Amino acid sequence: MVEPSLEEVFPALRGQTHAITSPRDDRYNCIAWAAGDDRNWWWPDPDQEDAWPAGVAREETVAAFRDAFATLGYQVCDDERLEEGCEKIALFALADVPKHASRQLPNGRWTSKLGPREDIEHSLHDLTGIVYGSVVLVMRRPRKVGHLTG
């Protein structure tokens, strides 16, 4: 069976500038990628040992994901605009259930890991739709020297 194209899965990508920036890799997911981790799978599954931060509720809620990113120094902010000296993450949810996270790049565009598929560079809202829902939370922290940038 042929895997659907990114534009078939995420129709808002059609006609928009986006680029695949990595090969497929099922070692890590979007939450890990947004957190700067390309070696582990982050999800609050209570039955699975993974890289989910210790002490953070293992539940699929916006609050739990907010708390997970807070362990990395992120704080809730008002918008996704590029801010000098800051890096941002955006959490997507569908019916208040977290589905995806993206990380802002220094150029103001966003990077996402699409499940076990590739990483892509895109405009933030190009992933809005029936798969990931929409952005429900944006957080920022001071940019760290040497942090993943792509």
| Placement of tokens 């966003």 in the chain | 110
* Distance (Å, whole) CA 71 – CA 128: 26
Q: Any idea how long the chain is?
A: 150
**Quick one: tokens of 14?**
């059609």
**Max Cα–Cα distance, the chain, nearest Å:** 45
pTM exceeding the 0.85 threshold for the entire prediction: yes
Say whether 138 sits in a helix, a strand or coil.
Answer: strand
* Distance (Å, whole) CA 77 – CA 93: 17
pLDDT in tens, the chain (150 residues): 788 888 999 998 888 899 889 988 988 999 999 999 999 999 998 877 778 999 999 999 999 999 999 999 999 999 999 999 999 999 999 999 999 999 999 999 999 999 888 899 999 999 999 999 999 999 999 987 654 545
Q: What is the DSSP letter of 105?
A: -
Instruction: Supply the pLDDT for residue 146.
Output: 57
* Distance (Å, whole) CA 43 – CA 74: 18
Instruction: Supply the pLDDT for residue 15.
Output: 87
